[in-house]
Structure formats: structure tokens, C-alpha cells
Structure 1
Amino acid sequence: MLLLLLLTNAFVLLPWAGAGRIIGGSEVKPHSRPYMAHLEIKNNSQTGYCGGFLIRPDTVLSAAHCVDIEGTVRVTVILGAHDVTRQERSQQKIRVGQWVIHPEYSPDDLKNDIVLLKLKTLAKINDNVQCISIARRNEHLREGALCRVSGWGLTSDKGNRSNVLREVKLQVQKEKICQQRSSDYQRQSMICVGDECSKKASYQGDSGGPLVCKKKAHGIVSHGYDDHLFPEVFTRISYFEPWIREQLRRFALQDIPCSPSSD
């Protein structure tokens, strides 16, 4: 599994943590996905990258495996970015003060692969930086639903990391496809997405990014399988929505309105 894309061009691999690249996708219109967050994760002398998305002005949602690393870890979130290699005027760089990994997260099989990152300062909501709504507990995706995944990850299994935000359209698959791939697949907390026929996927570096369906975040890029790029597994947000709300209350957030994000 893939996880973070390291500057050394090596991957921090969990079972295949982190679908991390956008394969078969295309560059999006700059700042048309204002909820997207680019995570820089520094651990000793290494720097890794993940995706994430803004759900409150001081909270980013991502994958637990992105920050579940030994040693001292520092995370910086970049909001309002399109080309992450440039210092765009639209960008807001904010340090993460703390994070909460789901208490039942399992690094061995990536069950409950979800983390909430609390920003040290509030993001400034504007045209380039906005929040995205998350799926509620009773909202379920049907097989065949067409969704989008954005990220700055690799663009092929042998490619380089993308400087600009790219996006791919992916279809929700039958649960049994992922269940056949692995006995660790849990239908209540995971989503099976992507098919071999379309040759499209997320990959290394895209971990933690959102699966967006009808302008709502329904999934989090989590992991795939060593021997296949397709399908891949996303953390099912609706299953974790009560836990997310509980953590937000603990963060003592006020109800600060966010403008609806465009899709």
C-alpha cells in the first residue's frame, strides 16, 4: 500500500496505505476545489505529502496513516493552492497544532483510517479557501455512483508527483469486488471505488484526499492492493460522522459558516 510521497522518492508503505496519485485524470481549473488541503509532513530529515480537506475553518480531515509515523512529526497544511511548487498569493500555510486519530485505527490493515487535524489558526474563508460538507450518518452511496477525487499525487505508477491539482472521476463498485481482494475489507466503514476498465485511480501522494459525490465528501483516500491498482478502498465518512462531530465539539468550535464549495 502506499502512503506518503517522500522527497527521497521512496514510499512509506503500509499494507498499501494511501492511494496516492491521480491516474487517468486531468488538471482542474485553478482554485475550483477550494476545500482541498495539501499536507506537508516532516519527520526528522524526511518530508512526506498527503491530501486532506477543510471541513471547518480550523479543522482538516485526512487519513490516519498520513500522520501515524514514528518519531517527531510536524504537519503544515497549505490551503488555497493550485501549483504547490509556487508561492501563490492565494495560499494559506497553517501549522497543525494537534490531531486526533480514530481510537480503533489499525495500521496493519488500515481499518478506521481517519484523522482530524486542528489548525493553530483559523483559515480565512474566501473564494480560494472554503469548507466542504461531509456525508451524514444516514447518507449512503449506491453502486455505480460517479464521484471525483483530487490530489497532487503521482500521475502513473512510474511517474512523478504532480505540481498542480489534478482530478479523476471514479465509480463506486460492488462491495464484493473489494471483499474478494481482501478479507480485511469492511463494508460498513469502507467504500470500494474504481474499476480496471476505466484505468483511473488515485495513488501515492493522494492519501487523505476526499471522494466527492454531489458536492459532499463521502470518502477519504485510504489504500489499495499490492497486485492491483483497481479497485481501491476509501474510508466511509458517513460511518464516522458521529465520531467526527464529537471531536469537533471537543475542539470547542463555534458554528462559523462556510461558503458552499463549487464542483
Structure 2
Amino acid sequence: MNMKLNTVLSVTLAVLLNLTGSFCQLDVCGQAPLNTKFIGEKDANAGSWPWQVSINEISYQNHFCGGSLINKDWVLSAAHCFQSIGMPDIVIYLGRQNQQGPNPLEINRTVIQLIIHPNYDPDTQDNDIALLQLSSSVNFTDYIKPVCLAAAGSEFDEGLSNWVTGWGASLEKIFPDMFQQAEIPIVSNNDCNIGYNGIVTDNMLCAGLLNDEGESPCQYDAGGPLVSKQGSGWIQSGIVSFNQGCLELTFPSVFTRVSQYQDWINIYTVNNQPGFVTFPDDYDYALDPISNITSIFSGSSTSLYLPLNHTFSIATFIFCFLIQMLSESS
């Protein structure tokens, strides 16, 4: 009887887990407890952006692109990074702070699968997105965590503040040893296209300062994340793709728009889907459902109405918690 019950329970849990998909990531993704950045600071503190990875070429032992950890097994980056470098020559560092010097908190993984978007166009950089499967799963710490990803239908309005991170060159043409960060605003695709002769598509997102020099991603930042804060967590809105001469920048930089690729990403991460979050909308409910439940039933909530997707987020959060408890007790 117990064996039958366990079998039924296991099958039911497996089906429900597949249905809930990315919601089980929402209790860990986008959380950066050590992020104590200040406006104007270029150097990022250790653990400030725990999803950032450094992608290195084994042959020359050098950093050549960035990327972001999206679950325990997969990294998101840009397709153009891998046009001349093959999978056997790639090593990924997680939890890295310095490109030289010691990094006592970092770990590394090789890559067992490299997936370039099938419609990537190297001439226009459309669909500039790639997935890399790590050689083994990573354990999450304060210094190594996945980022939440912008879900399909997310909108990032002009002027919205975003952060871009990496080890790219500065305006002084210096390639930093220390991990860097910069705050840049979203620019509308229409305005952005003025400087790019109309090549900016709906699969792209622009951010930076229009007709003015300022901080921007540069050489070796490619593939790294552009993130927006919502509630107490961070959502990746873009992937560093290209710009017009980053060191003398007069137009915004162009990023791959992550929200356009939810279905494509889920095809390959089906057993452990990333945390996809709609921006702006349901993030607070999904990320902190317990406090919202408490406020609703205590009467302190501003609204007693929970939309269907919010209710589903709360239910799946509780379900994921129960799965974790069952797995720990077995």
C-alpha cells in the first residue's frame, strides 16, 4: 500500500512540477543579498551580481565574454561570442571578482553543450543569444545565484534604470581587473534606430545615453546581463550584443531582448526551467507570496483581489516548498 501511494505521489509531483515550471526558481532567482552598491561606484562588491559569469578561453587563459547563470545547470550568453571559439576550449568561472589576483569564492565548470539560436544572423546580430550547459550542477551561495529572466510580454519603458556588469573596457580604454557595474537608462527602439540605420528589431532592447557620452558595455562585456530591479529582486532584461564604438559612444548600446526567447530557452531547460517573471506586474507576489498572503488576510492589503497568475504563483510557491520538505525527509 505504501509503495503504491509513494508511486502515485511521485508521479503526481512530477506532473505538477512540470506544470509549475519556472515558479520553483522564484525563491532563489534574482536575489543578491550582498548588493550594497552606491550610485557612481564603478567597482562592484563581491557577490553584488551573483549570476554574472566570466567565460574564458582555455587555450589562452583569457576572459573573452560574459554571461549569466539562469539555473544550476545553464548559462545565458550572446551567440556572437562563440563564432570562432569551440565548446572544448571554454571554461566558465562563477563567483569571480578579479580577472587576475586570487578569487577564493569562485568555482569553474567546462561546457558539455553549446546551443546557438538557429536564426542568429551574424550580419545584423538579430537573435544574438546562446545557451551553455555546465559540465556539472552548481550549488547556490550568496556569491553564486541565478538571475530571474524577463517573461514573454514584459515591457521596459524608456528611461527605466538598468544595470550592466562585466569586465569590459572603460571610457579611458582601460581593461579592468576588478568586476565593474554601470547604471544606464532604457532608450526606445525608435530613438535607438536613429543611430543604427533601422537595424534594431523587436528582438532587441536599447539602453544608454542618447547623443551623449557615458558608461556603456564595451569589449569583453558581450554576453553579459542587463538587469532591472523590481521589488527586492533582479530581472534580466537584455544580453549585451553590440554598439557603435563603445569607447566614443554617442548612441545607446543594443541588447538581445530576453523576453522574446522564453519558449526557446524552456525547450532546453525543461527539467529545471529558469525563473521567468513578467515585468512590470506580478513580481512582488511571485517572489514574496507569504507576506502577500499575510497582508491579504490581515486586511492590510490594498486589494483583496488576486489575479489568476498571482494566485497560481502563490500556490506553486507553496507546492515547491512542500516538494523540498518531502525530498529532505525521504
Shorter-chain TM-score range: 0.7 to 0.9
2:269 counterpart SS class: helix
1:109 counterpart SS class: coil
Name the CA distance, whole Å, in 1 between partners of 2:240 and 2:274: 26
Matched, 1:105 2:124: no
Taking structure 1 as reference, are residues 71 and 52 closer, same or farther at Cα in structure 2, changes over 3 Å only? Answer: closer
**Equivalent position of 2:267 in the other structure:** 246
The 5-angstrom pairing of residues 114-193 of structure 1 reads 114-156=129-171, 159-183=173-197, 185-193=199-207
Instruction: Please identify the structure whose Cα radius of gyration is greater.
Output: 2
Matched, 1:235 2:256: yes
Instruction: Identify, as 1 or 2, the structure richer in helix.
Output: 2
Shift of 1:35: 0.7
Shift of 1:226: 4.2
User: Does the 8 A contact of 2:149 with 2:274 survive in 1?
Assistant: no
Structure 1 unaligned regions, length at least 5: 1-23
**Equivalent position of 2:51 in the other structure:** 35
TM value normalised by structure 2 = 0.65
User: Does the 8 A contact of 1:178 with 1:185 survive in 2?
Assistant: no
**Equivalent position of 1:221 in the other structure:** 240
User: Does the 8 A contact of 1:191 with 1:235 survive in 2?
Assistant: yes
Report the residue type matching 1:137 in the other structure.
A
Name the CA distance, whole Å, in 2 between partners of 1:71 and 1:32: 30
Point out which structure has higher relative CO (alpha carbons under 8 A, 6+ apart): 1
Which residue among 110, 113, 124 is the counterpart of 1:95? Answer: 110
Name the CA distance, whole Å, in 2 between partners of 1:37 and 1:175: 28
**Equivalent position of 2:298 in the other structure:** none
Taking structure 1 as reference, are residues 45 and 30 closer, same or farther at Cα in structure 2, changes over 3 Å only? Answer: closer
Shift of 1:25: 6.0
Structure 2 unaligned regions, length at least 5: 1-39, 276-286, 288-330
Range moving further from structure 2, 185-194 or 232-241: 185-194
Range moving further from structure 2, 47-56 or 205-214: 47-56
Name the % identity: 30
Taking structure 1 as reference, are residues 25 and 114 closer, same or farther at Cα in structure 2, changes over 3 Å only? Answer: farther
Q: Provide the aligned C-alpha RMSD in A.
A: 2.3
Report the residue type matching 1:248 in the other structure.
T
**Equivalent position of 2:25 in the other structure:** none
Name the CA distance, whole Å, in 2 between partners of 1:55 and 1:254: 10
Name the CA distance, whole Å, in 2 between partners of 1:37 and 1:71: 18
Report the residue type matching 1:159 in the other structure.
K
The 5-angstrom pairing of residues 189-204 of structure 1 reads 189-195=203-209, 196-197=211-212, 199-204=214-219
Shift of 1:181: 2.1
Cα deviation digits, residues 192-214 of structure 1 (max 9, x gap):
11114361211001001101001
Matched, 1:206 2:227: no
Q: Which contiguous aligned blocks of 4+ residues in structure 1 show a shift greater than 6 angstroms?
A: none
User: Does the 8 A contact of 1:25 with 1:169 survive in 2?
Assistant: no
Name the CA distance, whole Å, in 1 between partners of 2:242 and 2:213: 18
Range moving further from structure 2, 137-146 or 86-95: 86-95
